[in-house]
Structure 1
């Protein structure tokens, strides 16, 4: 085509989307990529073989629509989560972002508001605006923690229709106590979503929000297979909630939204949950090693119950990010002052990051460079 391409300004885009930026994290073919909190361990070979067999079997009937209710997968998630949950309490989608989008489509939308405590997961405002609702940001303490009293006061003042609680929080790694969840739930008549994408990396004796579900029909606990299950490329997220809330999500989902191949792969992976989760302890060990080494290098690592570490006291985050990039190490500049975030990878990957950072000297690289994070 010889004609000049149009720009967004030439299109009848919704006014509330003008000037907005899409989600984006650098994807670069570097030897050590530790910027998007992936599980960098490969799926164990024996598990991969079973997944392949299950997908191959599903292919034989791929000419037919998949099970619209993805019954076997919901049963698998219920068994995995425990806490007396059944398939009726479970919903799933193509990644936890789609699950959150379903919730906003059902309980958000034009004329309604969603609320989150900044800094938190960057997709919350994007998903909210994409469904026509308004996003409102609350605040955290100086160490990114959130007290029950402060959270409840902010929610009572804002009166949102949907509240996001990221537990543990992304991008800070901060734990969130069940007392905060209870206080927020009692302070609102709206939907409360507890995003437990990183729950498997929390201490084993920590309480999940799943324990709060009985008797709380407006409470939702969302999870993902991307992190602990090393399934980021498969795009499978899910949630647990009261069966009535699950019925509400059926009103907004697209027909047959989970493909037969996705259902087969995820169901097979859940059959091997112990093997898939065996790498979690190793990742937690590398996370704690990274935190300890960062502290020894003069940085300030924040407490993390996730598979990543946020650290501050970086003199020039953009320059440090660029210097690591040039050494083949990709981490994340998330825009917090004097801070960077790194995913805990394999032992070799974590060592490569720590060695590269140490080579930059105290405070990291200095000087003004183009920000690439």
Structure 2
């Protein structure tokens, strides 16, 4: 709905709100959620944690989320041994999108530039533009990777204030080698943000940019509890960086931006991390199985280190998407033209996806899809 004459900012006119379709279907495989809900034991623990803070909700929460940040640092230290993080080097906010917004509020803005390599997470350019920062797409290679030489050339040519690297990448699932990240860090005059929202799903041997933090003070590594931790409804994103970066972010954070309930729920989830992350290995197995199955049917599939798979190619991907939806399976039209993305779900959900896709592919020749 529009109101004639409403004084919207000129740079926002004509833009569309971000969002995946929210449809009531039997098999929703379009938002990369963890399909395994909390156990009854964890539900009880979460309820008790909320009850513990309920009597104090007349007071503001811990403005700096100090205890939560210490817990997040402990998790990252266990996830990537040797990084030696403390709460002083971790920051948390309402989902990774607020983290991205705060980074751009501090290091971007009018007259400044951010560079990304698309196809990638669509909120990077959206939040960049909303912050008044100029967005430059440096593009990925045909295999959805990033060639270090080309990346360095783009960084030196545009001299961006912020560079976004996504590993594993969304929507392609592609992970970056540390050599590519280091090449960008050496060339970048400003901040380098490595978005690791899907890091817990990466295959064995795939490194984390957390290992580079001590050597590069302008590096920021972002994570989320929405994916592997199955806490999408909690809205908790976080980052690791140097203490100076954390201090800079304090300049733009809204007062008491993390509620007492959010902090309590997130800390409880971290305390039960072994249980919540227990489904990650199963999701990795389902991911690898669906990659093999899709390739076995002659489809192109991007290598994935995430909990989703990008596959194609279809001259009319909308027909495939609609055919699956008609059979109760919702996936995502996202990324490069002719490709589709399916989130990895439970064995039952993936069986429904395979059955539906087989029917769609039998319905019409590939060249017509």
Same fold (TM over 0.5): yes
Q: Which runs of 5+ in 2 are unaligned?
A: 78-82
Q: What's the counterpart of residue 80 of structure 2?
A: none
Instruction: Find the counterpart in structure 2 of residue 60 from structure 1.
Output: 55
Deviation at residue 234 of structure 1 after TM alignment: 0.9
Larger mean Cα displacement after TM superposition, 332-341 or 86-95: 332-341
Which residue of 1 is the match for residue 162 of structure 2?
A: 162
Compared CA separation, residues 95 and 364, structure 1 to 2 (3 A): farther
Cα deviations by residue, 1:298-317 (Å, 9 ceiling, x for unpaired): 21111000000000122421
Preserved contact between residue 315 and residue 367 of structure 2 (Cα < 8 Å): no
Q: For residues 146-157 of structure 1, what are the structure 2 equivalents within 5 Å?
A: 146-157=146-157
Contact 1:79–1:86 (8 Å) recurs in 2: yes
Matches of 2:73 and 2:176 in 1, distance apart?
Answer: 23
1:267 alignment partner in structure 2: 267
Q: Distance in 2 between matches of 1:88 and 1:46?
A: 32
- How far 1:337 moved relative to its partner? 2.1
Q: Where do 1:1-373 residues align within 5 Å?
A: 7-82=2-77, 83-334=83-334, 336-361=336-361
Of 248-257 and 288-297, more deviation after overlay is shown by: 288-297
CA distances 1:327-362 after superposition (whole Å, capped 9, x unpaired): 000000115222111001000001100110011225
Contact 1:319 1:365 survives alignment (8 Å):
no
Note if contact 2:71-2:267 (Cα within 8 Å) is conserved in structure 1. yes
Structure 1 CA distance for aligned equivalents of residues 324 and 131 of structure 2: 37
Cα distance, 1:180 vs structure 2: 0.9
TM-score, normalised relative to structure 2 = 0.96
Structure 1 residue 187: deviation in Å?
A: 0.5
Q: Tell me: CA distance 1:366–1:297, structure 2 relative to 1, closer, same or farther (3 Å).
A: closer
Q: Is the 8 A contact 1:198 1:228 kept in 2?
A: yes
Contact kept, 8 Å, 1:313 with 1:338, in 2: the verdict is yes
**C-alpha distance in 1, partners of 2:249/2:58?**
26
In structure 2, what is the equivalent of residue 3 of structure 1?
A: none
C-alpha distance in 2 between matches for 1:88 and 1:280 = 28
Aligned to 1:139, what secondary structure does the other structure show?
coil
Normalised by the length of structure 1, the TM-score is: 0.95
1:164–1:126 Cα change, 3 Å: same
Over the aligned positions, Cα root-mean-square deviation in angstroms equals 1.6
Distance change in 2, residues 1:9/1:344 (3 Å):
same
Shift of 1:107: 0.5
**3-state SS, counterpart of residue 228 of structure 1:** coil
State the shift of 1:363 in Å. 9.0
Q: What is the aligned length?
A: 364
